[in-house]
């Protein structure tokens, strides 16, 4: 009785371990957050990029429009890649672009916009990165599509042609 | 008599430092319990990425605003999801994780007791 029981238990334990490791090791260990969230826009009070006046988030997103809130910095190389797509998006009158300048130097950021063009309607600056944390952002570049004070879609990493088409589909 | 104001000033300074030390202690404790989402495998405390530096600043500000440790965790959980916490929450997905050690412990205990009685 005893000798039959022990191998069975051993096989059982081995099987459980095998299944756990098999499933666990095949899982991707790179975390990808949920991008289809319906979250309220976080409230913030930030300094304007051009002059030091205070801009309140409620003022920015008050209209019944679509907004793309884009986190960018002049030191961020992928931001240069996505810039041409933002410039394309600027031509669309149904959407307003809000820039959040992340941990940047004013001079360098200004020359970045001078060289590549300024797609933003409003730019606010986030000197210490704390406002981006309130948005639940990971870093630069990252964009949030906002409608009626809700984040309806987020784009982690640079915006590409596919994202652009997706945005146009949503705001149509 | 001159000593009294000096004594008061010194004691206030010492107390202030204690308070500050407490704040830094909880700040570090929270940062150690958070997973850095950019540099995975490191805690926010260990990391020097832009994300972690900002997050440490946010924790510091929240403590100064008077938020408790639990409130800060739930704030971050709301923003970034459960993944940011190192300590997994007890829910449907983690029943197995939390209960397995207890089950193994009980099974082990049962085997020992059985052996003990069999010998008798």
* A31 to B37: CB separation less than 8 angstroms, yes or no: yes
* Total domains present in chain A: 1
* A129 to B50: CB separation less than 8 angstroms, yes or no: yes
* B61 to A130: CB separation less than 8 angstroms, yes or no: yes
Mutate to test the interface with A, among B50, B85, B99 (most CBs of A within 10 A): B50
* DSSP secondary structure, A36-92, as one string: ---EEPPP-EEEESSS--EEEHHHHT-SSSEEEEEEE-TT-HHHHHHHHHHHHHHT-
Q: How confident is the model at residue B5 (pLDDT cuts 50, 70, 90)?
A: confident
Is A61 within the bounds of a domain?
yes
Chain A: residue nearest B58 by CA?
A130
Mutate to test the interface with B, among A133, A137, A141, A156 (most CBs of B within 10 A): A133
Is A76 within the bounds of a domain?
yes
Q: Residue A23 pLDDT > 90, yes or no?
A: no
Question: What distance in Å separates the CA atoms of residue B27 and residue B55, rounded to the nearest whole number?
Answer: 11
Chain B: residue nearest A41 by CA?
B79
Range among A22-31, B65-74, B92-101 rated most confident: B65-74
Chain B: residue nearest A127 by CA?
B54
Give, in order, the Cα–Cα distances in Å from A69 to each of A20, A35, A141, A146: 41, 14, 11, 7
Q: What is the pLDDT of residue B95?
A: 84
Is A85 within the bounds of a domain?
yes
Q: Residue A2 pLDDT > 80, yes or no?
A: no
Instruction: Give me A93's structure tokens.
Output: 């009158």
Is A150 within the bounds of a domain?
yes
- Chain B residues closer than 8 Å to A102 by CB: 50
Distance from CA of A146 to the nearest CA of B (A): 16
Look over chain A and give the mean of its residue pLDDT values, rounded to a whole number: 88
Instruction: Compute the CA torsion angle A142, A146, A149, A152 (nearest 10 deg).
Output: -90
Is A160 within the bounds of a domain?
yes
Residue A94 is part of which domain span? Answer: 39-171
Q: Which ipTM value was assigned to this complex?
A: 0.75
Mutate to test the interface with B, among A126, A129, A142, A144 (most CBs of B within 10 A): A129
Given CB atoms, is B25 within the 8 Å cutoff of chain A? no
Map residue A114 onto helix, strand or coil.
helix
| pTM as predicted | 0.74
* CATH number where A126 lies: 3.40.30.10
Range among A35-49, A69-83, B29-43 rated most confident: A69-83
Q: What is the pLDDT of residue A35?
A: 63
Predicted confidence (pLDDT) per residue in A76-89, tens digit? 999 999 999 999 99
Is A158 within the bounds of a domain?
yes
């Amino acid at each position: 009785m005893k000798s039959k029981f022990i191998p069975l238990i051993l096989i059982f334990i081995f099987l459980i371990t095998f299944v756990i490791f098999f499933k666990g090791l095949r899982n991707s260990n790179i975390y990808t957050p949920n991008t289809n969230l319906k979250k309220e826009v976080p409230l913030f009070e930030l300094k304007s990029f051009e002059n030091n006046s205070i801009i309140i988030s409620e003022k920015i997103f008050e209209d019944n429009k679509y907004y793309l809130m884009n986190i960018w910095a002049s030191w961020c190389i992928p931001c240069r890649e996505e810039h041409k797509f933002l410039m394309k998006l600027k031509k669309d009158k149904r959407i307003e672009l809000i820039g959040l300048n992340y941990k940047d130097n004013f001079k360098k950021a200004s020359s970045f916009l001078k060289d590549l063009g300024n797609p933003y309607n409003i730019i606010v600056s986030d000197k210490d990165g704390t406002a981006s944390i309130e948005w639940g952002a990971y870093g630069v570049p990252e964009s949030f599509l906002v409608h009626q004070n809700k984040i309806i879609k987020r784009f982690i990493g640079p915006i590409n042609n596919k994202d652009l088409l997706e945005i146009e589909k949503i705001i149509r | 008599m001159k000593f009294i104001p000096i004594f008061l000033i010194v004691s206030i300074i010492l107390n202030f430092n204690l308070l500050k030390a407490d704040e830094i202690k909880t700040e570090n404790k929270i940062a150690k319990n958070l997973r850095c989402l950019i540099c995975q495998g490191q805690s926010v405390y260990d990391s020097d990425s832009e994300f972690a530096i900002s997050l440490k600043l946010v924790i510091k500000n929240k403590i100064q605003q008077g938020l408790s440790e639990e409130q800060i965790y739930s704030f971050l959980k709301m923003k970034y999801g459960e993944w940011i916490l190192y300590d997994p929450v007890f829910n449907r997905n983690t029943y197995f994780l939390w209960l397995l050690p207890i089950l193994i412990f009980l099974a082990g205990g049962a085997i020992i007791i059985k052996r003990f009685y069999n010998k008798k």
